[in-house]
Amino acid sequence: MRRWLLAALAALALAGCKALPDKPVRQTMYDFGPSSPVETAATSRGALVLPEVEVTGILETPALLYRLGYEDAHQLRPYAYARWSAPPGQLLRQRLRDVLGRDRAVLDAAAAAALSRRGGTPPPVLRVELEEFSQLFDSPGESKGVVRVRCTLLENTGGGERLVAQRSFNVQRPAPSADAPGGVRALTAATDAAAQDIASWLQQR
């Protein structure tokens, strides 16, 4: 009877482990890697101010997050031994600077303020809110990277900022493996696609 009980407990523990994605066995740090090599064109569009990306809650930390959609999609779980090199908002902003900077000058708030003090025309402001940045498992063996951002384009006027346009972007990319490295690659691909979508949207403004 005792042997049967121990075997049953071991089977339950094994089943519980299989419900979770594979985890690294040592501390590992990730980023998006180098951006795609694209020849930078001559600056053809007006400058743009890109402040720090707005994030809240656990997205303010460098935790690498996932959801088990087949169990409880409302619960965010951090990988124990995998993390980003910086909070996701900072990584997203850097990738946006790389992509948007291919055809225009991208300024931070301090540079824009200095330009205004010198009498220059204040450039428009792109405010970005990062709302979702996680690896979503549809089953134990299949997952995808999910990136959701809200972008607000504002014009600087003498009386303050005026709304020009606003749009949400929800991008998903499949993960090549059901683990942290797969989630990193899926989220990197989703971020790159979102950055391209945002660039195309701004070109229409």
Answer whether residue 174 is part of any domain. Answer: yes
**pLDDT category, 160, cuts 50, 70, 90?**
confident
Nearest residue to 169 via CA among 72, 79, 99 = 99
- If you average pLDDT over residues 124-145, what whole number do you get? 97
CATH code, domain with 80: 3.40.50.10610
**pLDDT category, 9, cuts 50, 70, 90?**
very low
Number of independent structural domains in the chain: 1
Q: How long, in residues, is the chain?
A: 205
- pLDDT at residue number 17: 42
Answer whether residue 138 is part of any domain. Answer: yes
Strand pairing of 142-157 and 125-139?
antiparallel
- If you average pLDDT over residues 136-161, what whole number do you get? 92
Q: How far is residue 131 CA from its own chain's centroid? A: 9
Answer whether residue 170 is part of any domain. Answer: yes
Answer whether residue 54 is part of any domain. Answer: yes
On average, the pLDDT of the chain sits at 85
Most confident range (mean pLDDT) of 4-8, 113-117, 139-143 is 139-143
- Domain region containing 137: 44-203
Answer whether residue 141 is part of any domain. Answer: yes
47-92: pLDDT as tens digits: 999 999 999 999 999 999 999 999 999 999 999 999 999 999 999 9
Residue 1, CA atoms < 13 Å, CB-side half-sphere: 0
The token pair at 85 is 């090199």
- pLDDT at residue number 116: 67
Answer whether residue 132 is part of any domain. Answer: yes
**pLDDT category, 120, cuts 50, 70, 90?**
low
- pLDDT at residue number 50: 96
Answer whether residue 14 is part of any domain. Answer: no
